[in-house]
Amino acid sequence: MGGRRMNSYPEIGTSRDIPAEMISVDEALEYLLAKARPVTETEWAGLEAAQGRVLARAECSEIDVPGYDNSAMDGFAVRSADCRAAGPVALSVRQRIAAGELGVLLEAGSAARIFTGAALPPGADAVVMQEDCRVEGEKVFLKGPIASGHNVRPRGNNIAANAEVLPAGVRIRALEMGMAAAVGRQGLTVFRRLRVAIFSSGNELVEPGEPLTEGKIFNSNRYSLLGLLRGLGCEVEDRGIVKDDAASTESLLVEAAAKADVVVGSGGMSVGEEDHVRRALKNVGEVQMWRVAVKPGKPIAYGRIGECDFFGLPGNPVSTVLSFLLFVRPFLLRRQGLSNVLPTLFPVVAGFAWPTPGRRREFVRARLERARDGKLRARIHPKQGSDVLASTVWADGLVQIPEHGTVAEGDEVAYLSFSELD
Ligand code: AMP
Ligand code: MG
């Protein structure tokens, strides 16, 4: 996306005038990150299996990579001392060195045919690319002067011995796997996976594949949460659907918490008499945070059941997903041992107006388009209801509307790309 980066969402906007019964997005994040105790147990994972895991210890290289001076080009290895004069130089070609082969001492007045990645023969200190050479029989003609080191990749150019190649606390992506392999690692020491249990609360829920009778609705949050958690590298235990009654909810919480590091449930978090989750949490554990001034997603709760963390997310499908991305995701990342847990927002131009200020910080489903002036403009989905999942698959990110903020078309707004939330 390029251009100027904006602060992550905790620093953006204002926490002024948050209604007394709610805490601000910033306060909630600060609180949750302080509560997220990083796992300490580590294990060794083969390099392929390490993908997606969090590195527990910094990795240093024991070797120089490459371990020898080598050619950056297909061409001819020379002694620069032979090519000092400005003008034509003729050298005799006495050896040919492909990548992986070793040459012999390059005598004065000679050149070696050489290919990219091949070690320079002793005596050579420069390479002339083949496009700048003319070959006639055993002779190569080129033009001086050639500086020492020209087209040579010196030993250790990529990675120097003893250099730290991967810091602790990073997630292993393809790039980190390549780096680890480059210094000869077959595997890495990573933090153990987090065990996360999920459940869906609601008498109206049926699973895809079951008959959808009158008044019922398919359980979509289960799959949203499964996907999100697997994407973060968690081991997920699905506890299914829990009925809207106090006893089932309490026993589910106790059982799930006995085995998991974190339990995440959706639905049943509001204040109606059919909402049992928060009350159940109170009875079997402790509610530590409740209600954030965010839209969608206000009735989010955090607490503990013994040593287990608990998140209760609002049941509306958009609220479930967004409250997960905004609050549970950074918490779980920190809990996994990651250092960088907050996404970056970027400034874009509003291709919409938001005339009515709200008391809560709002995250609006949006799409970016390139305007005629080359700037990125955010369009927003016309239906921003927290039940409208269509807005989430249409969107490629979120525009943040600050508390009490309005937006006029053409204003700069903060944009949070879904790609920042992988
Ligand atoms: P609740 O948070 O339980 O009050 O639910 C709010 C809204 O979200 C209701 O319309 C529910 O039917 C809906 N809902 C709750 N859980 C789910 C779920 N797992 N999948 C789809 N919709 C849900
Ligand atoms: Mg419900």
For 154-188, write each residue's pLDDT tens digit. 999 999 999 999 999 999 999 999 999 999 999 99
202 touches ligand 1 (CB under 6 Å):
yes
Please compute the mean of the pLDDT values over residues 5-19 and round it to a whole number. Answer: 50
208-213, long-range: CB < 8 A, 24+ apart: none
Interval between CA 315 and ligand 2 midpoint (Å): 7
Interval between CA 42 and ligand 1 midpoint (Å): 37
Would you say residue 321 has pLDDT above 80? Answer: yes
Would you say residue 319 has pLDDT above 50? Answer: yes
Q: Which of 359, 356, 421 is nearest to 395 (CA)?
A: 421
Alpha helices in 145-244 (DSSP H): 174-182, 221-231
For 97-143, write each residue's pLDDT tens digit. 999 999 999 999 999 999 999 999 999 999 999 999 999 999 999 99
Q: Are 294 and 363 in contact (CB under 8 A)?
A: yes
Q: Which of 404, 352, 346, 340 is nearest to 379 (CA)?
A: 352
Q: Which residue has the higher pLDDT, 355 or 11?
A: 355
297 touches ligand 1 (CB under 6 Å):
no
61 touches ligand 1 (CB under 6 Å):
no
What is the number of the ligand closest to the CA of 316? 1
Over pLDDT 70: what percentage of the chain? 95
φ, ψ of residue 287 to 5 degrees: the values are -85, 120
Would you say residue 271 has pLDDT above 90? Answer: no
169 touches ligand 1 (CB under 6 Å):
no
Global pTM reads: 0.90
Where does the pLDDT of residue 14 fall: very low under 50, low under 70, confident under 90, or very high at 90 and above? very low
State residue 10's pLDDT score.
Answer: 46
Q: How far apart are CA 264 and CA 317, in angstroms?
A: 14
State residue 21's pLDDT score.
Answer: 82
Would you say residue 307 has pLDDT above 60? Answer: yes
- 316 Cα nearest atom in ligand 1: 8
Would you say residue 223 has pLDDT above 90? Answer: yes
Would you say residue 19 has pLDDT above 80? Answer: no
Q: How far apart are CA 55 and CA 178, in angstroms?
A: 14
Q: Are 406 and 357 in contact (CB under 8 A)?
A: yes
State residue 7's pLDDT score.
Answer: 46
State residue 78's pLDDT score.
Answer: 98
Distance of CA 258 to the CA centre of its chain: 30
Q: Which of 301, 422, 416 is nearest to 364 (CA)?
A: 416
What is the number of the ligand closest to the CA of 198? 1
Pairing assessment for the beta strands 205-206 and 87-97 based on DSSP bridges: unpaired
What value, to the nearest 5°, has the Cα angle with vertex 80 and ends 77 and 81?
135
270 touches ligand 1 (CB under 6 Å):
yes
Where does the pLDDT of residue 8 fall: very low under 50, low under 70, confident under 90, or very high at 90 and above? very low
Q: Which residues are CB-neighbours of 310 under 8 A, at least 6 positions away?
A: 253, 257, 262, 263, 264, 265, 281, 285, 301, 302, 303, 304
Q: Which of 239, 419, 400 is nearest to 343 (CA)?
A: 419
Would you say residue 346 has pLDDT above 60? Answer: yes
156 touches ligand 1 (CB under 6 Å):
no
Q: Which residue has the higher pLDDT, 369 or 271?
A: 369
The 10 Å Cβ neighbour count of residue 101 is 13
265 touches ligand 1 (CB under 6 Å):
no
Please compute the mean of the pLDDT values over residues 331-340 and round it to a whole number. Answer: 95
- 299 Cα nearest atom in ligand 1: 2
- 204 Cα nearest atom in ligand 1: 12
Mean pLDDT in the chain? 95
Amino acid at 204: E
Where does the pLDDT of residue 422 fall: very low under 50, low under 70, confident under 90, or very high at 90 and above? confident
Where does the pLDDT of residue 11 fall: very low under 50, low under 70, confident under 90, or very high at 90 and above? very low
State residue 6's pLDDT score.
Answer: 55
The 10 Å Cβ neighbour count of residue 194 is 22
Q: Which residue has the higher pLDDT, 15 or 192?
A: 192
- 3-state DSSP helix/strand/coil % of the chain, to nearest 5: 20, 30, 45
